[in-house]
């Protein structure tokens, strides 16, 4: 038996449309209780029925509504990941900002688990905070001296070199790049090594360069970024991975190049991880090794960088991500950005996910990620077209300056005032 379709009359349609409009508008207002005029350039992306769904009480940038009546809450979800990946999910994207998407799940659809995506329940989502200019901190001359040496041309040259290899975990290109990185570290007189670990049935290496601290050698500071790359989103297996993540790995090299010319109180572990794209294998291996050796308490801070060379428009924006337990570390980055890279607008998020900071945080070690705020909009993500020509050199320079200043502060770069010469050897008087 076939059911006879009854078409609604035009009148029924117009009443329904009117009610829907009222409902959507009222709900959007209810969601947002938007009472201020504060606007953000991303707000244009976040429109539904001409209502902004950002609840935006300065300085809190809250991308999610507190309550949802427009859609059942169990169908709403925040997805963290590049929009290229999210496009393939059985969801409708409602809002997108700072790499987070509020989506409506298709009923009964299963969301695949994927190392490049994470799903956050609406109620668990923490507000993204736009960092306001912190109380002015006078720049310290020794830190300024280091920051002034950040050379975006040298950083870009390293990205160009790294991008000549397809650096998939376990590939020969990855191994060649690893040797090149180790060679860079040894030119800076760091104590270098390649540490092998398993990724499924293949093996890969983390590349490490260690600089021993002068007065607090058992306080360890990590500067890390993944060097492996992945492709396939455009059907082409070539994976130059310039933004993701030659940019971050070259950032580690640039910081090592400068820091290695100075003495620090604490020890610094410069590390380029492999196996990140398969699920943070390299950084997890490093964190496990620290724990197995009883060294995890020595880690005072890990500064990680992933995708630090892309801007979607003309704004230089950085997303700083950690756990709420390490708010102090996020604050340190925010303050150093304001002091040493004032052209950078910084957002902080405690919804940490998807990159190498997670391996430390989940094992109780303080860590923070720096990532382009627009990383989720990068169109060449995981494609053969992720090339050096997409790199914005100012963006990388500002983020590296922020991280280098933070390293110099927490690992404590020693100035000439701190050192005296005895028997021809530098010794600290601190
Ligand atoms: Zn990455």
DSSP conformation letters of 188-247: TT-EEEEEEEEETTEEEEEEEEEE--SSEEEEEEEEEEE------TTS------IIIIIH
Q: Which domain holds residue 75?
A: 10-125
Shared domain for 145 and 118, answered yes or no, is no
Domain count for the chain: 2
CATH number at residue 379: 3.40.630.10
Name which of 1-5, 114-118, 135-139, 270-274 the model is least confident about: 1-5
Answer yes or no: do 290 and 359 share one domain. Answer: yes
DSSP states of 123-172: GGPPPEEEPPPPSP-PPPHHHHHHHTT--HHHHHHHHHHHHTS---TTSH
Dist CA 246 CA 367 (whole Å)? 20
* The last residue of a domain, from among 86, 101, 125: 125
Q: Taking the model in full, what pTM does it have?
A: 0.82
Mean pLDDT of 212-239: 95
Residue that finishes a domain, picked among 91, 125, 159: 125
Residue 43: asked if its preceding bond is cis (omega within 30°), the reply is: no
Residue 249 CA to ligand 1 centre (angstroms): 10
pLDDT of 227: 98
d(CA 244, ligand 1 centre) in Å: 5
**188 and 101 both lie in a single domain:** no
Q: Based on the domain organization, do 238 and 280 belong to the same domain?
A: yes
Give pLDDT, residue 417: 58
> Does residue 344 share a domain with residue 244?
yes
> 321 CA to middle of ligand 1, Å?
14
Residues 100 and 225 in one domain: no
Cβ atoms of residues 430 and 418 within 8 Å: yes
Tell whether the torsion through CA atoms of 28, 33, 377 and 115 is positive or negative. Answer: negative
Report pLDDT for 69: 47
Residue 202 and residue 107 share a domain: no
pLDDT digits (tens, 9 = 90+) for 198-208: 999 999 999 99
Measure 222 CA to ligand 1 centroid, in angstroms. 17
Query: What are the structure tokens assigned to 41, written together?
Result: 């350039």
Q: How far is the CA of 396 from the centre of ligand 1 (A)?
A: 15
203 Cα to the center of ligand 1, angstroms: 19
- 76 lies in some domain: yes
Residue 112 CA to ligand 1 center (angstroms) comes to 19
Give me the helix-helix angle, 393-410 and 327-340, nearest 10°. 120
Residues 30 and 168 in one domain: no
Q: pLDDT tier at 136 (50, 70, 90 boundaries)?
A: low
pLDDT in tens, 408-420: 999 999 976 555 4
362 C-alpha to center of ligand 1: Å? 18
Domain assignment present for residue 399? The answer is yes
Q: Mean pLDDT, to the nearest integer, of 217-232? A: 96
Query: Do 364 and 250 belong together in one domain?
Result: yes
The pLDDT of residue 123 is 73
- Residue 171 CA, ligand 1 centroid: distance in Å: 17
d(CA 188, ligand 1 centre) in Å: 25
Ligand 1 mean position, distance from CA 242 (Å): 10
379: CA distance to ligand 1 center in Å?
14
* Mean pLDDT within 187-199: 98
DSSP string across 340-387: H-TT-EEEEES---SSTHHHHHTTT--EEEEEETTGGG-TTTTSTT--
Q: Tell me the CA–centroid distance for residue 246 and ligand 1, in Å.
A: 9
pLDDT tens digits, 14-66: 444 433 333 333 333 333 322 222 233 233 233 332 333 333 333 233 444 44
Residue tagged 């997670």 (tokens): 358
Give the distance (Å) from ligand 1 centre to CA of residue 320.
15
DSSP 4: P
**CA 366–ligand 1 middle distance (angstroms):** 20
Give the tens place of pLDDT for each residue, 367-378: 999 999 999 999
In a shared domain, residues 51 and 148: no
Would you state the pLDDT for residue 93?
Answer: 81
pLDDT score at 286: 98
Q: Tell me, in angstroms, the distance from the centre of ligand 1 to residue 102's CA.
A: 22
Query: b/e string for 163-192 if b means 16 or more Cβ within 10 A?
Result: bebbbbbbbebbbebbebbbebbeebebeb
- Containing 336, the helix (H) or strand (E) segment is helix 327-340
CA 381–ligand 1 middle distance (angstroms): 9
What pLDDT was estimated at residue 22? Answer: 31
Give the end of a domain, one of 125, 151, 184: 125
- Looking at the chain, the whole-number percentage of residues with pLDDT higher than 70 is 79
Query: Which DSSP string do the residues of 255-276 spell out, in sequence order?
Result: HHHHHTTS-BSEEEEEEEES--
Distance 143 CA to ligand 1 centre (A): 28
Question: What separation in Å is there between the alpha carbon of 311 and the centre of ligand 1?
Answer: 15
- For residues 151 and 397, give the distance between their C-alpha atoms in angstroms, rounded to a whole number: 7
Please report the pLDDT score of residue 306 as a whole number: 98
Q: Ligand 1 centre from 36 Cα, in Å?
A: 36
Confidence (pLDDT) at 134: 62
> With 80 as the cut, is the pLDDT of residue 7 above it?
no
pLDDT of residue 19: 36
> Looking at residue 34, what is its pLDDT?
26
* Residue 428 included in any domain: no
Shared domain for 163 and 106, answered yes or no, is no
List, for residues 355-368, the tens digit of each pLDDT value: 999 999 999 999 99
> Do 117 and 166 reside in the same domain of the chain?
no
- Residue 133 belongs to some domain of the structure: no
């Amino acid at each position: 038996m076939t059911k006879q379709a009854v078409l609604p009359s035009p009148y029924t349609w117009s009443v329904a449309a009117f009610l829907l409009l009222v409902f959507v508008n009222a709900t959007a207002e209810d969601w947002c209780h938007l009472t201020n005029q504060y606007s953000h350039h991303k707000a244009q992306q976040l429109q539904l029925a001409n209502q902004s769904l950002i609840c935006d009480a300065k300085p809190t940038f809250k991308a999610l509504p507190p309550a949802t009546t427009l859609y059942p809450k169990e169908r709403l979800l925040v997805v963290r990941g590049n929009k290229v990946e999210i496009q393939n999910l059985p969801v409708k994207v409602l809002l997108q900002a700072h790499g987070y998407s509020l989506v409506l799940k298709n009923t009964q659809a299963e969301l695949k688990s994927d190392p490049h995506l994470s799903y956050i329940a609406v109620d668990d989502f923490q507000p993204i905070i736009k960092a306001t200019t912190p109380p002015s901190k006078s720049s310290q001359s020794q830190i300024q001296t280091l920051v002034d040496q950040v050379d975006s041309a040298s950083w870009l040259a390293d990205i160009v070199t790294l991008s000549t290899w397809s650096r998939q975990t376990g590939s020969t290109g990855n191994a060649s790049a690893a040797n090149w990185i180790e060679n860079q570290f040894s030119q800076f007189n760091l104590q270098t090594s390649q540490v092998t670990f398993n990724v499924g049935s293949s093996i890969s290496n983390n590349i490490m360069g260690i600089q021993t601290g002068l007065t607090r050698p058992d306080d360890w500071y990590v500067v890390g970024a993944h060097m492996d790359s992945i492709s396939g989103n455009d059907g082409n297996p070539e994976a130059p991975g310039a933004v993701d993540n030659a940019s971050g790995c070259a950032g580690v090299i640039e910081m090592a190049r400068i820091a290695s010319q100075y003495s620090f109180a604490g020890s610094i572990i410069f590390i380029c991880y492999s196996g990140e794209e398969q699920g943070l294998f390299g950084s997890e291996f490093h964190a496990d090794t620290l724990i197995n050796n009883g060294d995890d308490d020595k880690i005072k801070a890990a500064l990680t960088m992933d995708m630090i060379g892309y801007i979607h428009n003309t704004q230089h924006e950085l997303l700083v991500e950690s756990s709420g337990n390490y708010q102090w570390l996020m604050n340190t980055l925010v303050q150093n950005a304001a002091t040493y890279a004032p052209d950078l607008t910084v957002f902080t998020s405690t919804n940490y996910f998807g990159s190498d900071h997670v391996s430390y945080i989940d094992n109780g070690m303080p860590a923070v990620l720096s990532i382009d705020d627009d990383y989720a909009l990068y169109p060449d993500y995981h494609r053969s077209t992720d090339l050096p020509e997409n790199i914005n050199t100012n963006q990388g320079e500002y983020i590296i300056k922020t991280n280098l200043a933070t390293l110099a502060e927490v690992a404590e770069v020693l100035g000439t005032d701190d050192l005296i010469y005895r028997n021809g050897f530098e010794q600290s008087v601190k």
